[in-house]
Amino acid sequence: MTVKFFGAAAIILSSWIIGVMLSMKSRFRLDDLEELKKAVTFFLNDAVNVSMPLSEVFGDIAKRTNGAVSMVFEDAGKLAEMKNEKCAGDVFKKAVDKNLRELYFEADDMDCLYSFAANLDCAYKAQQRDNAQLLLENIRLIQINLNDKALKERRLYNSAGILCGILTCVILF
């Protein structure tokens, strides 16, 4: 009887842990969005206000951010130094595509990234600043929606994990 009890507890605990792991995807996405928000703010300061070269801007942003977003900007800085691409947007898109597996972004977030890349080639600093501020606003709206969704997913997956563990125990014992 004791073995069955410990087995049931292990099954319920392991299924709850799986539920927690599934609910963490939204948290990772929120972390990446926050890092992207920081990176765009740094871009506003470095490229628009100070007028640094783009390869230095990307390198500086890579040093000041963390995670997959940092890797995107690091690769973009290296590609910009090589000058193989014809425009800054292509450089950034290539860096994003290279690091796509490490990012937890979904379609809306990727649209933000690609619109940021398309606006890197604007001739006027005021237009770059306006586009970057619009991107920051879009990221903020996505974060608000995602916070609510993440809270619901966390409750759902945690409850579903426990219930699946109980169901498995009922079926087995």
Lowest mean pLDDT among 19-23, 42-46, 52-56, 75-79: 52-56
Instruction: Report the SS3 class of residue 129.
Output: helix
**Both structure tokens of 24:** 């963490």
Mean of pLDDT values over 23-38: 88
**Burial of residue 62 (number of CB atoms within 10 Å: 0-12, 13-18, 19+):** buried
Percentage of the chain lying above the pLDDT 70 cut: 98
46 pLDDT band, cuts 50/70/90, is confident
pLDDT tens per residue, range 106-131: 888 888 888 888 877 776 777 888 88
Q: Give start and end residues of each alpha helix (H) in the chain.
A: 2-43, 54-64, 67-82, 88-98, 107-118, 125-172
* Residue 18 near residue 4, CB atoms below 8 Å: no
The pLDDT of residue 137:
92
Determine, yes or no, domain membership for 1: no
Residue 105 — pLDDT band, cuts 50, 70, 90?
Answer: confident
Q: Band of the pLDDT at 29, cuts 50, 70, 90? A: confident
What residue numbers bound the domain in which 109 lies? Answer: 28-151
Q: Tell me, yes or no, whether 160 lies in a domain.
A: no
- Please state, for a pLDDT cut of 90, what percent of the chain lies above it: 9
Task: Give a yes or no: residue 49 inside a domain.
Answer: yes
86 pLDDT above the threshold of 80: no
User: What pLDDT is recorded for position 53?
Assistant: 78
Is 10 part of any domain? no
Q: How many structural domains are present in the chain?
A: 1
Report which of residues 84 and 101 the model is more confident about: 101
| Residue type for position 53 | P
Q: Give CA–CA dist 121/37, Å, rounded.
A: 19
Does residue 5 fall inside a structural domain? Answer: no
- The answer to the question of residue 57 being in a domain is yes
| Residue 13 forms part of a structural domain | no
Rounded to two decimals, the pTM is 0.80
